[in-house]
């Protein structure tokens, strides 16, 4: 609820779709391709990451990645150690949005996703650490 309230104050859609490393590709122009994952599955993964953060007691970041007209695409990040938490200014619960929202494109077709992975997987790998970690 706190995250949705935060989204409303920032004029972002309050319908949230959770994204993980496995269902994200970044095009060379910077747009995001997101593999369609059933909402319950995505929420389960996000909850597991969140609960891992609670166990570690290093802080948790809930951050937006991109948006469409009606959906905010967000992720959960848990720092690996105290140094990373300090470097990323994560203490307790950190909520954040990017200054410049990128375009989000959903992919539901498995073959098309495979083609996109062939095109953008290496490019994505270079940036994924900065975005989802």
Q: Are 133 and 77 in contact (CB under 8 A)?
A: yes
- Calculate what percentage of the chain has a pLDDT beyond 90: 38
Which residues, in sequence order, are bridge partners of residue 96? 63
- What is the model's pLDDT at position 95? 95
pLDDT tens profile 23-36: 888 887 778 899 98
pTM of the entire predicted model? 0.82
State the DSSP H helix or E strand holding residue 103, giving kind and residue range, or none if neither: strand 102-107
Which residues, in sequence order, are bridge partners of residue 26? 32
Closest CA to 70 of 117, 106, 31: 106
CB-based burial, 74-87: b 16+ in 10 Å, e otherwise: bbbbbbeeeeebee
> Residue 129: pLDDT band by 50, 70, 90 thresholds?
low
> Residue 51: pLDDT band by 50, 70, 90 thresholds?
very high
- What is the model's pLDDT at position 103? 77
Burial of 22 (0-12, 13-18, 19+ CB in 10 A): exposed
- What is the model's pLDDT at position 130? 56
Query: Is the pLDDT assigned to residue 132 strictly greater than 60?
Result: no
pLDDT tens profile 78-91: 998 999 889 888 98
Q: Are 62 and 76 in contact (CB under 8 A)?
A: yes
Residues 6 or more apart from 42 whose CB is under 8 A from it? 17, 18, 19, 20, 23
> Residue 101: pLDDT band by 50, 70, 90 thresholds?
confident
């Amino acid at each position: 609820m706190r995250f949705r309230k935060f989204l409303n104050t920032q004029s972002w859609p309050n319908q949230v779709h959770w994204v993980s490393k496995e269902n994200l590709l970044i095009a060379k122009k910077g747009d995001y391709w997101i593999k369609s994952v059933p909402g319950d599955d995505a929420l389960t993964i996000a909850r597991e990451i969140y609960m891992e953060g609670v166990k570690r007691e290093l802080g948790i970041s809930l951050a937006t990645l991109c948006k469409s007209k009606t959906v905010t695409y967000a992720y959960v990040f848990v720092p690996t150690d105290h140094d990373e938490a300090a470097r990323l200014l994560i203490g307790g619960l950190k909520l954040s949005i990017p200054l410049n929202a990128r375009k989000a494109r959903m992919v539901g077709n498995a073959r098309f996703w495979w083609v996109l992975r062939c095109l953008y997987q290496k490019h994505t790998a270079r940036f994924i650490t900065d975005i989802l970690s």
